[in-house]
Amino acid sequence: MKLLNLPLSINDLLDGQAVEWERLEFKKGWNPESILHSICAFANDFRNLGGGYIIIGVEENNGLPVLPPLGLNPTEVDKIQKEILNMGYSDIQPYYHPLIVPTEVDDRMILILWVLGGQTRPYKAKLVWSKYYFRPNPLLIEGINSKYG
């Protein structure tokens, strides 16, 4: 497994040492709308915990990662990274971009999005400009028509 230079150990996350909580979300595949909402929620960093991590290519079961990971098609990784970059400009208001870290786990490609709490909060998704997203617990919360939910 390739080690990453992230503040939270990817080994601990993927070996089941941490469960899905406010700062961690597993996505089994590339689902732009769902990931867009999660990026907004982590960037809003409701409790000022430092944002969170979205791990794409890893399925979860009761909050724990299912290993080995499903992974992503290696030929699609560059395209997905470009889509995430574009989402930051066109689908998030105000603009926001997570750090994207591609890596291999058990010979399968995954993407780790490090989503820090943003400097220009709150953030909302273009698909529903009137809604803000937060993660005050392991659930994604949708605030409606209000700056603070």
What pLDDT, on the 0 to 100 scale, is given for residue 146? 46
Can you tell me the mean pLDDT for 98-118?
A: 94
Where do we find the tokens 């390739």? Answer: 2
- Give residues with Cβ within 8 angstroms of 129, minimum separation 6: 93
Statement: residue 28 has pLDDT above 90: yes
Overall average pLDDT of the 92-103 stretch? 94
Do the bridges between strand 24-27 and strand 52-56 make them parallel or antiparallel, or are there none, so unpaired? parallel
Comparing 76-80, 109-113, 138-142, the range with the smallest average pLDDT is: 138-142
Global pTM reads 0.85
End-to-end alpha carbon distance in the chain: 40
**Does the structure show a pLDDT above 60 at 40?**
yes
pLDDT tens column, 77-97: 999 999 999 999 999 999 999
Does position 147 have pLDDT exceeding 50, yes or no? no
- Beta carbons of 84 and 90 less than 8 angstroms apart: no
Mean pLDDT of 44-52: 87
